Chain A
Amino acid sequence: MEWFDTWGLPLIVFLPLVGALVLGLIPKEKEDAVKATALLFSLVTFGLSLVAIGLFDFDLDTYNTYQFEVNTRWIPAIDSNFHLGVDGISLPLLVLSCFVTVLAVIYSWDHWEEPRNPRAFLMLMMILLTGMNGTFVALDLVLFFIFFEVVLVPMYFLIGIWGDKAPRKIPGFSRVVETRLYAAIKFFLFTLFGSAFMLLGFLALYFRSGEFGDRTFDIVELTNLGASGAFTGTFAFLVFFGLFLGFAVKVPMWPLHTWLPDAHTAAPTVGSVLLAAILLKLGTYGFVRISLPILPNEAVRWAPVIAILSAIGIIYGSLACLAQTDMKRLIAFSSVGHMGFVMLGISTLTDVGINASIIGMVAHGLITGLLFFIAGSMAHRYHTREMARLGGQMKLMPIMGGILGFTAMASLGLPGLAGFWGEFMSLVSSYNPLDGLSLTVFRSAMVAGAIGTVLTAGYMLYMLQQVNFGEPSDEWVGRNFHDVDRFEMTAWVPLIIFTVVVGFYPNLIFGVTNDVVGSLVEMAFQGGAVTAGLGG
């Protein structure tokens, strides 16, 4: 399989784009052909990502060494190379992104929001997949930036065209706008705002790297420079801040999160799923791949800030959830809290913490993705997302209700399901963060996180009580609801299975990440870690 060493990653990244072009050639009316083509391309891409797992050398665990590496000259004028590669940190996320996209295509088979047009919708999804996969494997900052931004465009259209058309009054503005437009533009501008500073940081790194040899955008080389202590002082501080803004908006971290509830709520179902499952991870991944290794000293300086913002995010997001009346918005807000745990893990700068963040990302992708699927299917049937109007779903649609109950339990971090490990390990790591970090700050964050788990349980039970239990209101009595259909089942069952499997065998993820994360922490922070200083 030598061809895979060269062609594997480019194919995983660009095959969906080819798919988008092919879709463009198929007449719009031939919907079945359109869907089949999209499914084919997403399946092949997913298959290739599985091949990557099969061929992956799990013993190669030194940080900053990549597999299936491709590195060719691309834009010589700015020393930017077409450099792709994957390691134990990006591999789970790459597979997740391909996996969820396949499920999204299957789900959308029979679920089209107005104005329908499957061809355009699926083309955008394919472009989105290219952007997401590209971001996870890019090893050149310019390339990374482009993929990172490419993601915005299809998602912008998905929200803006297929999104929620309800008129919405924006506080402080006199005019009423359509929710989808407000949300799409907010999403776009917010992210672009962050990206601008991120790009600034990239450019600064590029120019400063010239002082230590040839200027470079190469992540591998910059990582080596960073480990040798090249970037210091106010310069590095500001660069980290720039990158922080770019990534923190995407995660999103409190208080840069307000685009998220709007975008998630307004987006079409599949858009919400991909937003939650994959797009948010671009930000956290950026921290792990770029900010931490290239600017380790700054990471140490900024870590308490990140920890505090994460802790606030966990509590704030959960409390905001408790005040929601719209089910989809509640689920959207829950991401603020869950991603808070992921960022808290990263901010400890320990191997346990970063492992926590990766399994947290995967678990959030599976679980919140599933929650959005369900919320979409429910809205499709009830034509409302107001929880106060729902109720008695266990009677109306027992299977739908059962799956919702399972997923809510997974989301509140029930031990034995995937969501637990990230939260628990986040707490473990913030008990003893990297040597030198303030124990007061991190242990306070730990306590806040632990309290957050209680609040999370609170809003999830609140949602279940409103939606699933009780007697159905008169509005729904006698209505014949179609319980979960086969497309929904096909899309959801794999997510359920993985949630359970990862819950009982988290080594499925740690087996890939643990060694390389340990090596990263050793390289960047000399690995003063959770149980360091343990006598015997």
Chain B
Amino acid sequence: MGSLLFAAAEATHAGDGGWWADTAGIMLISPFVAFLLILAFGKRLRYNGAEFAIGALAINTVWAVVLFVLNMTEGVLREPVRFVVGDIGSGLTFELGWAVDGLSIMMYLLVNLVGLLVFTYAVGYMEGDRRVPWFFAAFSLFAGSMLLLVGAPNLVQLIIGWEGVGLASYLLIGFYWEDHENVNAGNKAFMVNKLADVGLLLGAVFLGVAIGSFDFAELNLAAVEGNAALSAVAIAGGALLFFGAMGKSAQFPFHIWLPDAMAGPTPVSALMHAATMVTAGIYLMARTFPLYQQMAADLRPWMVAIGTITLFAMGLLALVVDDIKKVLAYSTVSQLGYMMTAVAAGGYTAGLFHLFTHAFFKALLFLGAGSVIHAVHSNNMSDMGGLRKYMPRTYATFVIGALALAGIFPLSGFWSKDEILATLGHEGYTAVMWIAIAGAFVTAFYMTRAVALTFHGTYKGHGHPHESPPVMTVPLIALAVPSVVAGLLNIPGVSWPGIGNFTEWLAVRVVPMGDHHAEAIDFFLAGVGLLAAVAGIVLGWLIFAPDRDTQQARDRLEIPVLYPLFRRKYYMDDVALGISRFTMGPFARFVNWTNTYIIDGVVNGVGGLVYHLARFIYGGVDQRGIDGIVNGLSAAADAAGSGLRKLQTGRVQQYAASFVMGAIVLVIVFVLVR
């Protein structure tokens, strides 16, 4: 089946990646090896096991870069390598392996490259912190799970990676577990994701059983070919998968876990909210794109609606928080909304391109925030201000990241956001397009606020902030480069000589996706988008301009009704907390109560009844014997004080007696039945 399927490949001219593709599985394994090595030897090493973690990702990056370059120049498409690990009956199999096509190669590059930079940065950031070996072990587990996820040729392996990522995030968010607040944050992330995973699990069941395989290639082919069995469950299965994707990619209303996830060390946030974890849901939607494009098209408006709510409503929350990481967190949620909206609207490339550029500049912003936090020992922007003088490199790179995020020409975010707007317009989601433009205004506004409060004005914190060491600033600079230039990879209508463009690289795949991409720049739309961003920056600058008191500036934003609504995060946390408290509290206690007093009540009642019946029948005759046979409870009480010997001897008689009695009952019943 696999090779037949391959005959349908769209890019038949593509190369197969040769040895590099054959051995790409190394990337999926090496972080797990690093995980074990760090657990075993981490404590004894100079850098607490970061050697292994970085080494593994460095090796991976070689593979990822080579594959990416090969894909740029000649296109790489290889049938996924698959190993059967379980024949579960009815012709269904579980397989592990790795996919090598445009989409996976792009993700390999992102995860490994960004991961490598973040890991390196973490060596400086975590210096002298608690449990550093464990940090790098869990970090490796994180990267490995994510690679398992994006390399998955089938839904089952994706689920393994998916939940592995969830586990690693739980461990890292709750990294400072001495404080129950942090553990709560980890629990919240895990539980919200687990709830959404119900959709992923059941979606895999629906779709997998329908086509008799969990393989993505088969699923997509069936969707393109109009398989009747798949068609029957496409809406339900598609909705369930989307439900799962909403959890990992923090779509409304499952976004509630993400801001709390800031409890982990900052490098964790950088990795989790840029290249890994939160991209998983978008990736899943892209991986199964033909299902939504061909069969579950009726779902798309709903998915767009969720994405739109996410991109706009969550961006607003970034306006009112003081914690710099939470600004970035809400920004991540909002940007994920852009990606989801784009993919749902039919913009396969647009959504993924934004995922690609966002991974660089958001990692940059988080690491920049980490650098600041490292210097001032506080997450709150009210403790910062004026840092540009003390931390010039952090400042410069942070501003680049902020401008890229805001979508300023010609930085990467401009191009990818523009492509999303173009897709929305082309697909007829005009209203959504305008909301997205408004969202771009909000994005620029809150990023300006963050930059102004953090780096401009006067320093309000304690001590003397200092620039971070090179091990931290070099990754910042390294991330600033793609944040600036990555957008050039996909200028509409431009195909660079010898390598083409991002759209073409992603088009190297097994099954045609049927997506749309723009052929030329829409100058009007690009202009409006840019205008919105500039307006956001200008307004933000006016309100939060240097040397204005933070509190005073905040007061300007304290619009009645809205401000409290934003501060309380639309009260969604309160609802979620209420539900979980009810389940764990009164509801669980009620169930336990029924167990003790109703079910067990019947059991004990019957026991007591038989006991009293027996006493009634036998009167006082042979009390001792009766006690042994029927009434365990009373006998137990009598025996409680007596010694072991009595217990042992007494109970043997009991057993014999009850056995005989049971047999007698049986014979009687049997005779009656016959």
Contacts and interface: CB of A to CB of B under 8 A. Distances in A.
A58 to B, nearest CB: 12
Interface string A149-176: 0000100110011000001001111011
Given A506-B86, A531-B91, 8 more contacts: A167-B640, A186-B632, A259-B603, A319-B588, A350-B90, A351-B88, A354-B89, A505-B85
A463 to B, nearest CB: 11
Contacts of B647: 160-161
B292 interface: no
B190 interface: yes
Interface in A161-220: 161, 167, 170-173, 175-178, 181-182, 185-186, 188-190, 192, 195-196, 199-200, 203-204, 207
Contact of A323 (B164, B177, B198, B589): B589
Contacts of A518: 89
A490 interface: no
Interface stretch (B54-62, B441-449, B467-475, B663-671): B663-671
A171 B596 contact: yes
Given A173-B604, A465-B183, A203 B206 contact: no
Interface stretch (A10-18, A127-135, A451-459): A451-459
Contacts of B666: 196, 199-200, 203
B73 interface: no
A416 B157 CA distance: 9
A160 B644 CA distance: 10
Contacts of B96: 504
Interface string A467-495: 01111000000000000000000000000
Shortest 6 CB-CB contacts between residues of A and residues of B: A185-B632, A351-B89, A181-B636, A322-B588, A323-B592, A323-B588
Contacts of A424: 156, 159, 201, 205
28 contacts: A156-B651, A171-B596, A176-B637, A181-B640, A185-B636, A189-B607, A195-B662, A200-B670, A258-B595, A324-B592, A351-B88, A351-B89, A352-B90, A355-B89, A356-B88, A414-B167, A416-B160, A427-B205, A453-B201, A454-B195, A454-B198, A457-B191, A461-B170, A465-B183, A465-B187, A504-B96, A530-B90, A530-B92
Contacts of A203: 666, 670
Interface string A501-536: 000111100110010011001000000011110111
Given A185-B632, A446-B205, A531-B209, A319 B587 contact: yes
A177 B651 contact: no
Interface in B155-192: 156, 159-160, 162-164, 167, 170, 174, 177-180, 183-184, 187, 190-191
A257 B600 CA distance: 9
Contact of A414 (B163, B178, B599, B604): B163
B591 interface: yes
Nearest to A178: B640
B559 interface: no
Contacts of B669: 200
B662 A458 contact: no
B655 interface: yes
B88 A425 contact: yes
A384 B86 CA distance: 42
A173 B580 CA distance: 35
Interface string B430-442: 0000000000000
Interface in B594-623: 595-597, 599-601, 603-605, 607-608
B198 A469 contact: no
B159 A415 contact: yes
A356 B87 CA distance: 11
A462 interface: yes
B86 A510 contact: yes
A76 interface: no
B89 A535 contact: no
Contacts of B673: 200, 204
A425 B74 CA distance: 41
Contacts of B648: 157, 161
Contacts of A458: 191, 580, 583-584
Contact of A469 (B174, B211, B596): B174
A450 B198 contact: yes
Interface in A346-371: 350-352, 354-356
Given A157-B651, A320-B595, A514 B88 contact: yes
B217 to A, nearest CB: 15
B23 interface: no
A421 interface: yes
A181 B163 contact: no
Contacts of B183: 465, 469-470
A195 B640 CA distance: 28
Interface of B: 84-92, 94, 96, 156, 159-160, 162-164, 167, 170, 174, 177-180, 183-184, 187, 190-191, 194-195, 197-198, 201-202, 205-206, 208-212, 227-229, 580, 583-584, 587-589, 591-592, 595-597, 599-601, 603-605, 607-608, 632-637, 639-640, 644, 647-648, 651, 655, 658-659, 662, 665-666, 669-670, 673-674
Given A431-B209, A465-B180, A115 B644 contact: yes
A316 interface: yes
A394 interface: yes
Query: Most chain-A Cβ atoms within 10 A of its Cβ — which of B88, B92, B205, B635?
Result: B88
A255 interface: yes
A241 to B, nearest CB: 12
Contacts of B86: 421, 505-507, 510
Given A171-B604, A427-B202, A471-B178, A454 B191 contact: yes
Contacts of B212: 531, 534
A209 to B, nearest CB: 14
A447 interface: yes
A409 interface: yes
A363 to B, nearest CB: 13
A432 interface: yes
A428 interface: yes
A177 B633 contact: yes
Contact of B201 (A352, A414, A450, A532): A450
Contacts of B190: 457, 461
A61 to B, nearest CB: 12
A431 B604 contact: no
Contacts of B164: 414-416
Contacts of B670: 200, 203-204
Nearest to B632: A185
Contacts of A469: 174, 177-178, 180, 183
A458 B580 CA distance: 9
B260 to A, nearest CB: 14
Contact of A153 (B591, B603, B655): B655
B187 A177 contact: no
Contact of A182 (B197, B209, B633): B633
Contacts of B194: 453-454, 457
Contacts of B92: 352, 428, 530-531
Nearest to B195: A454
Contacts of A531: 90-92, 209, 212
Contacts of A416: 160, 163-164
B244 to A, nearest CB: 11
Contacts of A153: 655
A259 B85 CA distance: 38
Contacts of A454: 191, 194-195, 197-198
A405 B309 CA distance: 37
Nearest to A329: B592
Contact of B608 (A172, A258, A392): A172
A426 B164 CA distance: 21
B353 to A, nearest CB: 30
A196 B87 contact: no
B206 to A, nearest CB: 7
A173 B608 contact: yes
Nearest to B587: A319
B662 A192 contact: yes
